Amino acid sequence: MPRARRSTAPPPPPPPEALLSRLGARVRARRSAMGWTLSELSARCGISQRFLSDVEAGKANISVINLQALAHAIGSTASELLAGGDAADRRGCIALLGFRGAGKSTIGPRLSSRLELPFFELDGLIEAEAGLSLGEIFAVHGERWYRRLELQVLRRFLDQHDRAVFATGGGIVTDSDAFDMLLQRCTTVWLRAKPADHLDRVLKQGDTRPTAGRLHAMADLKGLLAEREPLYSRADATIDTSSHSIGAIVDLLVQQLRLLETQRAT
């Protein structure tokens, strides 16, 4: 009996809804990473803002000509935007790194507003998951338990969000699994500051832990910063928060994010 021939038919195409959803997610992630509003993208590609909003929502069946213009505007190609695979461009998640007092909680909301993205604080998500404050987590369970929970919460957050700005805990870079996940799946930004600014900002927030019972708080802080600097410096971008106003920092961040996105597209 002759052997049955193996089918060489191509796999069936994805349903239209899935294709449009994937396209929208990729356009939205690319635009967000470049720091553009819908209005700015509209001006660059010649497509109405309302229609672009429908494209990003996966509701619009864009024409070939408009898709080519849109892809060119965001430094991509029509084939790349339509290609199979995971629709979520995790580089659309912007992770702010830095020691306590770097300015993550202050700059993060301003940057997210500028990019029209949601803002989260990873420590807040961890507290919600544990039902305990950070101080209680460390006191009751210890750092090792906290790091396991941090990794679990981070992984779930990145699986659920393809575009966001979020502040990380100062010590996340010391956990290789969590830090590698950030480097691989996010655009990472190190908010760098002088030791004196770190300490002053934390104390102004009412957090006296850095100096409680410590005669050499500044020396201890400088030591920790020196240990972590090689890790923080692995971030995709670095911004000095001691030398600029908040508005200027956000402007610089947007510029650097746009440059990174352009480099990745070439």
**90-265 maps to CATH 3.30.56.10:** no
pTM: 0.63
Which pLDDT score, from 0 to 100, does residue 12 have? 58
Structure-token pair, residue 111: 């940057």
pLDDT digits (tens, 9 = 90+) for 206-223: 554 544 445 467 787 788
Rounded-to-integer distance, Cα 55 and Cα 57, Å: 5
Which pLDDT score, from 0 to 100, does residue 141 have? 93
Which pLDDT score, from 0 to 100, does residue 182 have? 92
Q: Which residues of the chain have pLDDT under 50?
A: 1-10, 85-90, 208, 210-213, 215
Which pLDDT score, from 0 to 100, does residue 250 have? 92
Which pLDDT score, from 0 to 100, does residue 236 have? 92
Domain boundaries, the chain: 16-82, 90-265
Which pLDDT score, from 0 to 100, does residue 67 have? 93
Which pLDDT score, from 0 to 100, does residue 162 have? 82
Q: Are 41 and 73 in contact (CB under 8 A)?
A: yes
* CATH superfamily for domain 16-82: lambda repressor-like DNA-binding domains (1.10.260.40)
